[in-house]
A and B are shown apart, each in its own frame.
Chain A
Amino acid sequence: MPQLANANASVVIDRLRAWKSESISQVIEHRGETTIVVPHQLLLATAKQCKEDPVLNFNQLSDATCVDRFPNEPRFELNYQLLSIPRLARIRLRTSVSGQQPVIDSLEPVWPGANWMEREIFDLFGIRFEGHSDLRRILLPDEFEGAPLRRDFPVEGKR
């Protein structure tokens, strides 16, 4: 395990390990930020635990976004920035999604604010969120074809 820059991250890791050891598949430390890599199928449960565990108390989802690692597989990486306002602590959860079947559980049941963030990812990356209440395009017109933020989509657009 890498050296952790802040005490908060080790608290999160300890609490999550104590809750379910398989919920953490990897811990990445980069420039003082800690990323917890969560297995695809445990994302929703882990997010719920991060919010509901009174010690962790991550009551806000700051941001959710996707990185496309094309042509690697699994190509998509979802990054969730969690914020605990009472504790003034942040952590990042990450999970991978395959290119063949870009489907993942929605975090809307945990943080309703995930709604538009996930719609944006759906719109621009074409990842479907299971259990989302209103999964429609948000920025692009409904008739738009393709997912423009994928790496194999040309910057100039398709003609």
Chain B
Amino acid sequence: MVLNMGPQHPSTHGVLRVLLELDGENVVTAVPDLGYLHTGIEKSCEDKTYSQAITLTDRMDYLNPLGNNLVYCLAVEKLLGLEVPKRAQYIRVMMVELQRISSHLVWLGTHALDMGAMSVMLYCFREREEILKIFERFAGQRMMTSYIRIGGLALEPPAGWRQMVKRFLDMMPARIDEYEELLTNNRIWHGRLKGVGYLSAEKLIAMSTTGPGLRAAGVAFDNRKAFPYSSYEEFEFNVPTRTESDCFARYLVRVQEMRESLKIVRQAMGKISDQGPIKSEAPGIVPPPREKMKTEMEALIYHFKIFTEGFSPPPGEVYVPVESPRGELGCFIASDGSPKPLRVHFRGPSFVNLQALPLMVKGQLIADTVASIGTIDIVLGEVDR
């Protein structure tokens, strides 16, 4: 029998359609069908200046907009050969780590909901709200932040941000314990996740899987450690791994990652000084401060030029990988020396990781397919772009 799962199905986390060929209740083959959210973001980027494209990146992986901003800005900065002030780098790290926690919270909540544990979802969204409030104070936006800009950040951190972040950091460890109390030793949770969706490390690597899915198979590969960016080499944190490579191992890895992210945020808070630049000095690329623009002729000209024609990086290509909550998020930009990119390509971890789904669910039950889709942690906005 062929069963059509999705595109409108709560457990597919968006609009994923999977064609399941079944033998009784066992899956013989699973064929994912994508594209329901395809909006042509890569094509749109080609018709925008480098700075204008930032807002589009927010809308790909909508649980990780800051991470998308970061990878795009890092790629453009690399094309330009632009250095970013340390203070801005640390704030970037703090923001993307908070984002990682919020993304894992949504994952944990929705996945628990798929498995039938309603209360965890309510708790997770409660804590996520706290993070979104922090983002709102920083960027003026809860989700589509566009806070990270080429050459630095959009705004100075708001007054009282330290207390806000500190309050969250003090609250969060006990809350994670609470989720673990509800789930980690829960017999139903074990029954639904243990031994489900297994795939060997070798196969995962061959299928280009990265992120928590790969780390749950014992491969400690993390771009933050392997190819540090934005001063990650100055932070101390562990890369949690498991060896079972099933859905339960992926759950444990993600929970542990939240704790590691808290550690990073705490360190970043210590590193961020109260004074200092949040943007690099790059006339013609980074818009001048408003004060200067109103008093200096050159600043006014630069301001006008940035917003009317943009800036032109030298011809060439770069590929910048960062570790998003879901795995390796890469940005490939080709410049032809004009103010608009010749090509912008995002290597979305959701898209690539989803490839391994048919291998994971082969021979398993339909209910296990739901668990496997959940622990791959896809965001359809990024899969389809």
Contact = CB atoms under 8 A, between A and B. Distances in A.
Interface of A: 30-33, 35, 59-63, 65-69, 79, 81, 85, 88, 90, 92, 111-117, 120, 124, 137-141, 148-149, 151, 153, 155
Question: 10 tightest A-B contacts by CB?
Answer: A113-B208, A30-B316, A63-B347, A139-B35, A65-B345, A139-B38, A155-B47, A67-B343, A113-B207, A88-B226
Contacts of B347: 62-63, 65, 81
B43 A67 contact: no
A61 B330 contact: no
Interface string B326-337: 001010101000
A67 B352 CA distance: 19
B196 interface: no
Contact of A31 (B81, B351, B355): B81
Given A31-B79, A79-B317, A67 B334 contact: yes
A62 B227 contact: no
Given A31-B81, A90-B227, A113-B206, A63 B355 contact: no
Contacts of A79: 317, 319, 332
Contacts, number: 104
Give the size category of B's interface with A.
35 or more
B321 interface: yes
Interface residue SS majority, chain B: mixed
19 contacts: A31-B81, A33-B317, A62-B208, A62-B319, A62-B321, A65-B332, A65-B343, A66-B343, A67-B342, A81-B319, A85-B219, A111-B208, A113-B207, A113-B208, A116-B355, A120-B351, A140-B38, A148-B40, A155-B47
B116 to A, nearest CB: 31
Interface of B: 34-35, 38, 40, 42-44, 46-47, 78-79, 81, 205-210, 219, 221, 226-227, 316-319, 321, 328, 330, 332, 334, 342-343, 345, 347, 351-352, 354-355, 384-385
B366 to A, nearest CB: 23
A62 B328 contact: yes
